[in-house]
Amino acid sequence: MIGVIISDELNINEDIRASQVRLIGPNGEQVGVIATTVALNLAREASLDLVEVAPNSKPPVAKLIDYGKYKYTEKLKQREARRNQSTAEIKEIRFRLKIDDHDFEVKKGHVERFLKGGDKVKVTIMLRGREISRPIGGVPLLERLADEVAELGVIESRPRQDGRNIIMVLAPKGKKVHTQSEQRRRGDQSRAERQARQAARLAAKNGVSAAPEQAKAEAAPAAKTASKSAAKPAKNKASNEESTTKEGSDAKE
């Protein structure tokens, strides 16, 4: 079975000028060298196209395929390849040759973040004064950085001096699409936590507002009972006074 790469510019069917072709069947089987007219008849009977896939061979190689279906399939493959293609950016980190440990750790954190994001990182040591002619410690400093971020990236361009700078390029190990998924997951998690905090604050606020209303509702029955209790002695007193007045009137008569 011959593996065939079909180019964009092809001779198809009657455009094939050779008198003979080495024919490959639709399933990759070898038919052999036959006249081009016979191969065209076979293509018509099979409702396929005769495509010259290797015009520079002696004789040319032709294959029986559904050319329209083939072009459609290739277009889908190209579209899928473009969709899955990750576009990595080149970030840059700069620092001086005499950098302290704290600043070095800060710069390293930026490098790790860029590599996790799927981007390349150009690390530049800026030289000044005598450091340009004697950049002692520059290359070891970049190599130390590369070693400490080795789990996330690899050296794509070794440290080298370029004029007033020493440059190194790091490339990420992981694909950007995976990092985007991780970032999306972290974003969703952060959003969920923020919504939970807002709900907790709202619940606490509603609880404080409801407390006075609840106390008022609980106090209302007690006040009503006390009012009834106070009204009852007054009523009894009025009744007693009325009885006393009546008795006095009877005695006078």
Question: Based on the domain organization, do 21 and 53 belong to the same domain?
Answer: yes
pLDDT digit string, tens, across residues 187-213: 777 788 888 888 888 888 776 555 555
* 211 located within any domain: no
Instruction: For the beta carbon of residue 66, count every other beta carbon within 10 angstroms.
Output: 15
In a domain, 193, yes or no: no
Q: What is the CATH number of the domain that holds 37?
A: 3.10.20.80
Average pLDDT, the chain: 78
19 has a pLDDT exceeding 70? yes
Same domain, 73 and 106: no
Q: Last residue of some domain: 126, 154, 176?
A: 176
Q: What is the pTM of this model?
A: 0.39
Same-domain pairing of 70 and 103: no
Say if CB 121 and CB 88 are below 8 A apart. Answer: no
In a domain, 244, yes or no: no
Q: What pLDDT is stored for residue 214 in this prediction?
A: 59
List the one residue out of 101, 58, 90, 107 whose CA is nearest residue 172: 90
| 19: nearest Cα among 1, 37, 44 | 37
More confident residue, 239 or 48: 48
Instruction: With respect to residue 2, please indicate whether it lies within any of the assigned structural domains.
Output: no
Q: How do residues 38-61 score in pLDDT, each as one tens digit?
A: 989 988 888 898 888 888 888 889
What's the pLDDT score for residue 77? 86
Q: Which residues pair with 95 in a beta bridge?
A: 125
Cα 171 to Cα 123, 148, 150, 227, distances in angstroms: 11, 14, 10, 84
Query: How many domains, the chain?
Result: 2
**Cα of 244 vs its chain's centroid, Å:** 95
Answer yes or no: do 102 and 149 share one domain.
yes
| Structural domain contains residue 105 | yes
DSSP line for 133-175: T--TTHHHHHHHHHHHTTTTEEEEEEEEEETTEEEEEEEESS-
Residue-wise pLDDT for 129-183, tens only, equals 888 888 888 999 999 999 999 999 999 999 999 889 999 999 998 665 444 555 5
Domain that holds residue 118: 90-176
Position 189 in a domain: no
**Do 56 and 127 belong together in one domain?**
no
Distance from first CA to last CA of the chain, Å, rounded?
Answer: 145
Q: Answer yes or no: are the C-beta atoms of 161 and 144 closer than 8 Å.
A: no
The residues with which 63 forms a beta bridge, in sequence order, are 24, 51
Q: What percent of the chain has pLDDT over 90?
A: 26
Do 94 and 163 fall within a single domain?
yes
Q: 94 burial class (0-12, 13-18, 19+ CB within 10 angstroms)?
A: exposed
Residue 240: inside a domain: no
Same domain, 158 and 124: yes
- Residue ranges of alpha helices (H) inside the chain are 36-45, 67-84, 101-116, 138-148, 176-252
CATH number, position 100 = 3.30.110.10
**Is 135 a member of any domain?**
yes
pLDDT bucket at 4, cuts 50 / 70 / 90: very low
The pLDDT assigned to 125 comes to 94
Q: Is 198 exposed, middle or buried (0-12, 13-18, 19+ CB in 10 A)?
A: exposed
Report whether 42 contacts 23 (CB < 8 A).
Answer: yes
Q: Are 178 and 188 in contact (CB under 8 A)?
A: no
- Out of 69, 84, 99, a domain closes at 84
Residues 132 and 154 both lie in one domain: yes
Regarding whether 80 and 94 lie in a shared domain, the answer is: no
Task: Report pLDDT digits (tens) over 89-125.
Answer: 789 999 999 999 999 999 999 999 999 988 899 999 9
User: Domain end: 123, 153, 176, which one?
Assistant: 176
Is there a single domain that holds both residue 68 and residue 117?
no
Q: How far is CA 75 from CA 44, 69, 109, in A?
A: 25, 10, 42
Phi, psi angles (nearest 5°) of residue 172: -70, 150
Average pLDDT for 4-18:
71
